[in-house]
């Protein structure tokens, strides 16, 4: 993925703002989408990142993007994606960064889907014309776009059914600084990546920091 690409980001939280900001710094044009076209967090983000940054609705962002990032909470991702519109996502790569963390039963959160299914698979089933690639959901937002925040070797995982889509996403990940991209397999392998969240949350509690990451050591 060489040169400037138009990117739509669904979600105006820390993850969406961080990924979107990094992408503008890399020379891409980015539209941050939310429920409303006048979201205040998105407006502040646009003011911060300048002429390559814009905002709009979920549908505006999906329509704008040649590549779309799902940075909404996994609990509301399907609703946000339906709001974005299947036609606006058809034929495109959707980078799914979400985690289905359910805080309604208290702390620690549980996963609203896991084990025999995943949010990534649900999205792929509901949007069959879209090429879903799960990645970046297993680390803190800062580490996602600046892996060097964590010293030493560590990895980003990737799952998806479409080889070309995974190749495109790998290019973006490398532009963020990722050296080791572990391709877990088809989209059903996203179950494994999403099921890392419970231990990630425990580790954050133990280490008192979110600046760490998984590495697979091997021969």
Where do contacts with a second copy occur on this chain (CB under 8 A)? Answer: 105, 110-111, 114-116, 149-154, 157, 182-185, 189, 191-193, 195-196, 198-203, 205-207, 209, 211-219
Nearest distance in Å: CB 15, a second copy:
20
**Least distance (Å) from a second copy to the CB of residue 118?**
9
CB of residue 125 to a second copy, shortest distance in Å:
18
DSSP-assigned beta bridge partners for residue 67: 7, 93
Q: Which is nearer to a second copy, 76 or 201 (CB)?
A: 201
Closest to a second copy by CB, 43 vs 184, is: 184
Vertex 39 angle, CA 37 and 44, to 5°: 120
Q: How far is the CB of 81 from a second copy (least distance, A)?
A: 23
**Toward a second copy, which CB reaches closer, 162 or 183?**
183
In the complex with a second copy, the residue whose CB is nearer, 75 or 84, is: 75
Instruction: Please tell me the distance from the alpha carbon of residue 134 to that of residue 34, in angstroms, as a whole number.
Output: 20
The answer to whether the beta carbons of residues 147 and 154 sit under 8 Å apart is yes
Classify residue 7 as left (phi > 0), alpha (psi -120 to 50) or beta.
beta
Q: Is 8:83 a contact under the CB 8 Å cutoff?
A: no
CB of 214 to a second copy, least distance (A): 6
Residue 94 CA from chain centroid, whole number = 9
Of 33 and 147, nearer to a second copy (C-beta) is 147
In the chain, what's the furthest Cα-to-Cα distance? 51
Smallest distance from the beta carbon of 68 to a second copy, in angstroms? 25
Rounded Cα–Cα distance for residues 33 and 10 (Å): 5
C-alpha radius of gyration, the chain, whole number: 16
26 vs 203 by CB, closer to a second copy = 203
Could you give the C-alpha distances from 12 to 35, 98, 112, 127, 197, in angstroms and in order? Answer: 10, 13, 21, 22, 21
């Amino acid at each position: 993925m060489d040169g400037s690409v138009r990117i739509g980001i669904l979600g105006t939280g820390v993850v969406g703002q961080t990924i979107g900001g990094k992408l503008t710094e890399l020379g891409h044009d980015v539209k941050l989408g939310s429920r409303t076209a006048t979201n205040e967090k998105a407006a502040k983000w646009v003011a911060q990142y300048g002429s390559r940054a814009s905002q709009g609705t979920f549908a505006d962002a999906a329509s704008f993007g040649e590549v779309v990032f799902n940075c909404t909470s996994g609990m509301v991702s399907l609703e946000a994606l339906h709001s974005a519109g299947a036609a606006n996502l058809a034929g495109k790569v959707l980078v799914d960064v979400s985690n289905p963390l359910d805080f309604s039963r208290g702390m620690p959160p549980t996963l609203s889907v896991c084990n025999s299914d995943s949010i990534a698979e649900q999205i792929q089933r509901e949007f069959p014309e879209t090429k879903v690639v799960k990645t970046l959901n297993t680390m803190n937002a800062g580490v996602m776009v600046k892996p060097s925040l964590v010293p030493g070797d560590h990895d980003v995982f990737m799952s998806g059914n479409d080889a070309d889509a995974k190749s495109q996403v790998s290019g973006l990940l490398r532009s963020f600084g990722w050296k080791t991209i572990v391709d877990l397999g088809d989209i059903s392998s996203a179950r494994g990546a999403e099921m890392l969240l419970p231990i990630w949350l425990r580790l954050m509690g133990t280490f008192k920091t979110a600046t760490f990451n998984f590495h697979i050591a091997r021969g």
